[in-house]
Amino acid sequence: MPNPRKVVIVGAGLSGLVAGRELLDAGLDVCVLDKGRSVGGRLATRRIGDARLDHGAQFFTVRTPAFRRRVDDWLERGIVAVWNHGFDDDDGHPRYVGATGMNSIAKDLAVGLDVETSTLAFGVRPMEGVDAPHRWEVVIDDGTTRPADAVIFTCPLVQTFALLADIGVWKSGDEATDAAHDAIVERHGIHLDQQLFRTQYDRTIALLATVDGPTAIGAAGGVQHGDDVFSFIGDNQAKGISEAPAITFHANAEWSEAHWDDDSADTLAALEAAAQPWLGSAAIVERQLKTWRFATPRTIWPDPCWSTADGTIVVAGDAFAGPKVEGAHNSGLAAAHSLLA
């Protein structure tokens, strides 16, 4: 495939934004779409009164040279800061945070990019006709389309699968169906890898609470796997992003799965009860629940992104290079480079 001129990226989370920046810097015409009201996806920060709380990713570490280069740039420009060097002991490895919340990283990446928020991609279809100026068009839920020579999908994989289902082809075992599918493959060159799109995700239920004073969380400001309910407890004030005391409690995957369908008032009450030992003498002032249906991919694909044979459909995100901030970054980078090769 010659280098594409026009690329549409579905998803303005970290991987989509990183891919977008890389392609924009290479001189391509890039448009990023996100169904959310703002950019960031799981890099999410929310205000409750005077408090600011991260309710998706809490912090990140750096292991690879590509991410190191990016983080050094963010540090230099004050986009990120070091929170600490370990929650239990000082292990010498910095834990980084967005200087004004994790979402500030996404906002910085989005500067200068053409990003359309509140824009739900509904599907993708080939642009018909020999004179068609582009290869694909991404269909939006309002019926409009965005033309593209290549499309990068960065949603959680089951959502990407739904978007590709109309043009995707896999063997069903039924002769007539398979023959029809083969005809589409021949025309559009799309083979979906079933194993990839069957990736399961753990869920997370979060309790966001503003409190009226110091808690029992401790000087490090965070607790990992502190008990059998919470996988992480983060003090947003100790972290340096909130003026007012505010705590994020993430229920672990097992607890979140078991309580996913409970009434939200019951879930809130159960999480508040579980949070008590960590609050010390502080009382909760305001509380909110946030649920993440696709919080963490359970299996990680061995390659940093996946492409169709002709390279014009690329799938990326944290299910590829690792279920973390660094993995999402590196997968977005790989997706962009696959189009520039």
Chain positions contacting ligand FAD, by CB under 6 A: 10-16, 33-36, 41-43, 56-60, 120-121, 154-156, 159, 163, 204, 250, 292, 295, 317-318, 323-325, 327-328
Question: Judged by CB, which is closer to ligand FAD: 153, or 185?
Answer: 153
- Stretch (H or E) spanning 142: none
**Rounded distance between C-alpha atoms, residue 114 and residue 117, angstroms:** 10
Closest separation in Å from C-beta 99 to ligand FAD: 16
Three-class DSSP category at 195: helix
Residue 200, Cβ neighbours under 10 Å: how many? Answer: 11
Closest separation in Å from C-beta 248 to ligand FAD: 9
Residue of this chain nearest to ligand FAD (CB atom): 13
Closest separation in Å from C-beta 3 to ligand FAD: 23
**Rounded distance between C-alpha atoms, residue 268 and residue 327, angstroms:** 31
Pair 61, 93: CB distance under 8 Å: yes
Closest separation in Å from C-beta 230 to ligand FAD: 11
DSSP string, 55-90: -S---B---SHHHHHHHHHHHHTTSEEEEES-SSS-
Pair 150, 314: CB distance under 8 Å: yes
Closest separation in Å from C-beta 291 to ligand FAD: 9
Question: Judged by CB, which is closer to ligand FAD: 58, or 267?
Answer: 58
Question: Judged by CB, which is closer to ligand FAD: 66, or 120?
Answer: 120
Pair 3, 95: CB distance under 8 Å: no
Closest separation in Å from C-beta 130 to ligand FAD: 30
Closest separation in Å from C-beta 115 to ligand FAD: 11
**Rounded distance between C-alpha atoms, residue 165 and residue 167, angstroms:** 6
Three-class DSSP category at 335: helix
- Contacts by 167-173 with C-beta closer than 8 Å and gap 24+? 167/123, 167/124, 167/125, 167/126, 168/192, 170/194
Question: Judged by CB, which is closer to ligand FAD: 159, or 210?
Answer: 159
HSE at residue 148, side-chain half, CA atoms within 13 A, is 26
Question: Judged by CB, which is closer to ligand FAD: 102, or 190?
Answer: 102
Question: Judged by CB, which is closer to ligand FAD: 115, or 185?
Answer: 115
- Contacts by 68-71 with C-beta closer than 8 Å and gap 24+? 70/18, 70/329, 71/96
* Amino acid letter, residue 132: A
Closest separation in Å from C-beta 173 to ligand FAD: 29
Question: Judged by CB, which is closer to ligand FAD: 181, or 326?
Answer: 326
* Amino acid letter, residue 219: A
Question: Judged by CB, which is closer to ligand FAD: 31, or 185?
Answer: 31
Question: Judged by CB, which is closer to ligand FAD: 249, or 278?
Answer: 249
Closest separation in Å from C-beta 212 to ligand FAD: 25
Instruction: Using alpha carbons only, give the angle 146, 148, 152 rounded to the nearest 5 degrees.
Output: 100
